[in-house]
Amino acid sequence: MPGAFIAIMLLVSQASAQTAARRPSLDEQLADVGQFLERGSTAEAERLLRQLVPKPEEEPVQGPGIFTSAGFHDILWALIGSCYLGANDYADAERVTGERLRAAEIKGADAAGHVPIFLSLMAEVYRLQGKHAAAFPLYVRLNQLWLNNELPAEFQTRTELGYVECLIVRGETATAEMVSRPAVDPDGSYVGPAFHENTFNTHAVAMEEAGHKPEAIQLEAKIDAESRRPPAANQQDRDLFRARLLSARKQDAAAEAIYQKWTSYWKSAGVPPGIDPKELLQIRAAPLAAYSHFLSVHGRSGEARTIQSQLTAMGCRFAMCE
């Protein structure tokens, strides 16, 4: 899924290095799980992982740190669920993620630290299918964890973006505009859009949805002027958000026109000066991944697979780019 679990892959490699001296044979087998995932064989990775780690209900309660065995297993299972989701296999993504989420919830407060990773992923599974009614209560829970200072930093931005999207779909545009307002530093100073483009672009669309279009246009101009990214990348962020909202309102033709616009744009656009090549790759991949989900949800699986092949050829798999 779009960028959210790239960090998790790094954590897996770190955790494996920490445990290698203690359990070399198991680590070798867990490395095979990673190789299956890298090849796109998610079902084989899941089958092997089920042989190597305890069932969810048998997992001992441990702290949420990644260097505990349970924390390491969480990362692996989140990768399995994320890879199913990135391949548009929503049924298996729901199955795997739901299984692990329920197991953590049943264990109560002692396992509370294991909930956010699967709660966040399950919310994304629902949202990317357009199941905003199912996703919304999960985002409410995530937002409450954030307010309680119990939500890890790597899930905070995605929680905000998903929560705002669900609020707008529900018609709660004033609330969406309020909660999407970019934060300020503890000393009250202004936080600019550079390195916070997703948050600012989301707020611009929320302002527009709340009926404040002139102010939204001014904010968009400010974002484009101060961002470290090319203006087209920011416009794409805003348009892809609008496309998801259009699709939720059954305006699929208008949504698809946006996806087609941006999947075509980067084929002919020149390379913007000064941008990191990996970031440019992620920008180019974003409309393809979004369009692939759109096509899959609308039963156009053959066209979705064609888009997935384009992503693979670019060096991206499961919406994650090398």
Token pair for 237: 């962020």
Determine if the pTM surpasses 0.75. yes
For the chain, the domains span: 1-129
Question: At 180, phi and psi to the nearest 5?
Answer: -90, -5
Residues forming a β-bridge with 316: 321
Q: Span 1-129: which CATH code?
A: 1.25.40
Q: What is the pLDDT of residues 58-75, one digit of tens each?
A: 666 655 554 566 677 888
pLDDT (tens digit per residue) in 154-196: 999 999 999 999 999 999 999 999 999 998 777 666 678 888 9
Report yes or no: 180 and 157 within 8 Å, Cβ to Cβ: no
Secondary structure letter of residue 271 according to DSSP: P
By the 8 A CB rule, do 165 and 153 touch?
no
Over residues 114-130, mean pLDDT: 95
Measure the CA–CA gap between 174 and 181, rounded to whole angstroms: 11
